[in-house]
Amino acid sequence: MNASRIRFLFALLCIIAFCSAVQATNLLITVQDNLDNTTIPHATVFLNGDNVGLTNNAGQFLLQSGQGNLNLLITTNGYDDWAGTIDANTTTLSVTMNRKTLYLNVSLFDSNTLQPVSGATLVLTSTNSSQNTATDTNGAATFGVTAFTYYSLNITAPNYQPRSDTIEVDAANQNVQYWLLSANQYSFIVRDQNTLAPISGATISVNSVLLGTTDSRGVLIAPVSRNVPLTVQIQKTGYQTVNQYITIGTNQAVDAVILTPVPVSGFVFVHDQQNQPISGADVSINGTVVATTTTYGSATLQNLVPGTYAIVVSKAGYTPVNQQIDITSTSSQFPVVLTPATVSQTLYVQDTDQKNIAGATVLLNSATVGTTDQRGELDTQLTYNTTYNITVTHEGYLPQMVKQEISLGNTTTPLTIILQKNMDWGFVTLIGLGILIVLFIYAIIRIAGRRTHHHSTKRNEI
């Protein structure tokens, strides 16, 4: 009986092992491109909705399948998804993935005017296709393309030089821009040698014929002859004239010209509010001190080119002045007035009981500057290195005066001024009169008492 059971169990185990061997089927998946049949590495494989792995560098993935058919989904960037149901007994699978259809957006602009170029003809070709279209009023055109594909783009437009380019489309829609060179126009860009800032108003002549003047960008766009010798002259007041002898080629579009400034001088005169010259004042341009005033209050600004400058004039003890000056080709003079620097001073007015006094009048050197608020406080401005007589008055209090002088560079601390109450002489007079009346009545009573006593004594004697 035991031997029969053992044989039965052994047979059952063999059947189970055989069934397991049958169920464990390996499926080798190879993923490749639909156009060139190259394998696609790193494609994601999904089984029944679960991510089970990526294809290797050879574009292959080994899948251990279980019972039943396999619901597969394969995705990768730049390709349409592939989905299919595979029989459980399949051991190899070749998957061909189609490249995604994308958009290539092309925009064309004039290299001189920066305006869109409409009506240009665009031809886009690849190994398997060729397309052509024209740009719209916005200088734009759109092509349908496939991912991971090389294209050749040829551009032609009336009055512009033709242009071509090779474009590699990746896994997403792509935007490209091109600047077309005019076939009969040329750009001059004029800049300052020292600052490289654009120079506006520079005149440009070709073969002694005036083409025009540069704009705010330092640019002049004008028609010129190509492939012939030209004499070009660039002039601007305050700069050295530039003469060029050039031949402009077919593919040239821009002439970058650098002008050297001719140094000029300006004179700054610094004085105070009483028109007295101030010496030792610094004059700065762009944060750099370029001159210091003499004993006569004058400073010379040298090696400048004509133009507008923002200067700062400063000296210790005075409030700095920011001022714009216009330097011309001739010497220019600019007066600057400096006012003494001030510091904030807080005053507190209190009585002898340290109670705040509101409405107290404050005078600086006999000039009223304000009254204290409900907290007995007043903020005022004092000039450095100036002695002030600060006087505080209020009805019912004796005036109080203090002196204050703030040295240059120092800060202030709140100043408390104590007022003493004034004597009320009317009240004192009333008190005095009351006392006199009391004394008078007291004297009358005393006198009357003495008389009564004297009369009684005489009567007794009789």
Q: In whole angstroms, give the CA distance from residue 378 to residue 223.
A: 72
Q: Are 228 and 266 in contact (CB under 8 A)?
A: no
Q: In whole angstroms, give the CA distance from residue 246 to residue 188.
A: 13
Task: Give me the DSSP letters along 256-297.
Answer: EEEEPBPPEEEEEEEE-TTS-B--S-EEEETTEEEEE--TTS
Q: Are 108 and 116 in contact (CB under 8 A)?
A: yes
| pLDDT of 378 strictly over 90 | yes
More confident residue, 89 or 451: 89
Q: In whole angstroms, give the CA distance from residue 224 to residue 254.
A: 11
Q: In whole angstroms, give the CA distance from residue 264 to residue 330.
A: 7
| pLDDT of 12 strictly over 70 | no
Q: And the tokens for 339?
A: 């006012």
Q: In whole angstroms, give the CA distance from residue 147 to residue 170.
A: 5
| pLDDT of 66 strictly over 80 | no
Q: Are 204 and 213 in contact (CB under 8 A)?
A: yes
More confident residue, 91 or 432: 91
Q: In whole angstroms, give the CA distance from residue 376 to residue 419.
A: 12
Q: Which amino acid is at 102?
A: L
Helices (H) and strands (E) in the chain, counts: 2, 35
Residue 375, beta-bridge partner list: none
Q: Are 258 and 223 in contact (CB under 8 A)?
A: no
Tens digit of each residue's pLDDT (9 = 90 or more) over 67-118: 678 899 999 999 999 999 988 888 899 999 999 999 999 999 987 778 899 9
Report pLDDT for 3.
58
Q: And the tokens for 462?
A: 């009789």
Q: In whole angstroms, give the CA distance from residue 233 to residue 243.
A: 5
For residue 232, the SS3 value is strand
Q: Are 179 and 165 in contact (CB under 8 A)?
A: no
Report pLDDT for 5.
58
Query: Strands, E, within 171-281: which ranges?
Result: 174-180, 185-192, 203-206, 209-213, 219-223, 229-235, 242-247, 254-259, 264-271
Write the CA distances from 213 to 113, 195, 219, integer angstroms. 15, 20, 8
Tens digit of each residue's pLDDT (9 = 90 or more) over 317-367: 888 999 998 887 666 789 999 998 888 999 999 998 889 999 999 999 999
For residue 269, what pLDDT band results from cuts at 50, 70 and 90?
very high
Structural element, H or E, at residue 45: strand 44-47
Q: 79-83, 291-295, 304-308, 315-319: which has the minimum mean pLDDT?
A: 304-308
Q: Are 417 and 348 in contact (CB under 8 A)?
A: yes
Tens digit of each residue's pLDDT (9 = 90 or more) over 172-182: 999 999 988 77
Q: What is the 3-state secondary structure (H, E, C) of 348-411?
A: EEEECCCCECCCCEEEECCEEEEECCCCCEEEEEEECCCCEEEEEECCCECCEEEEECCCCCCC
